[in-house]
C-alpha cells in the first residue's frame, strides 16, 4: 500500500481514485500519521459485507451450539 500526504492527495485526487479503481489502496497521511485509506468500491463492499451486524448475529446463532438439558435433580439433601 502506497502512502500520500493529504496535501498531495488533494492536488492529485483524480490520480488517487484511478489507482484505487485499479486495485491499489492508497493510505492518506496527515502530520506523518495514517489517517485514511482510499480504496475501490468493490474492495469496500467486500470488506463491509465480510462482518455481519450485531443484530443479525443475535438473531442467527451458530448451528454448532450444543444446548444441554438442565439437571433438575437437587444437588444435596437438605434437613429442615
Tens-digit pLDDT profile for residues 24-79: 999 999 999 999 999 999 999 998 887 788 888 888 877 766 667 777 777 777 77
Contacts of 60 (CB under 8 A, 6+ apart): 52
The answer to whether 36 and 14 have CB atoms below 8 angstroms apart is: no
Structural domains present in the chain:
2-59 (3.40.1620.10)
**pLDDT tens per residue, range 8-24:** 999 999 999 999 999 99
2 DSSP 8-state letter: E
Q: 11 is written with which cell numbers?
A: 492536488
Entry pTM: 0.60
Amino acid at each position: 500500500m502506497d502512502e500520500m500526504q493529504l496535501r498531495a492527495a488533494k492536488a492529485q485526487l483524480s490520480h488517487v481514485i484511478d489507482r484505487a479503481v485499479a486495485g491499489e489502496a492508497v493510505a492518506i497521511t496527515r502530520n506523518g500519521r495514517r489517517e485514511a485509506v482510499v480504496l475501490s468500491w468493490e474492495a469496500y463492499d467486500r470488506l463491509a459485507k465480510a462482518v455481519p451486524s450485531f443484530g443479525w448475529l443475535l438473531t442467527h446463532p451458530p448451528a454448532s451450539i450444543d444446548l444441554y438439558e438442565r439437571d433438575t435433580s437437587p444437588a444435596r439433601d437438605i434437613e429442615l
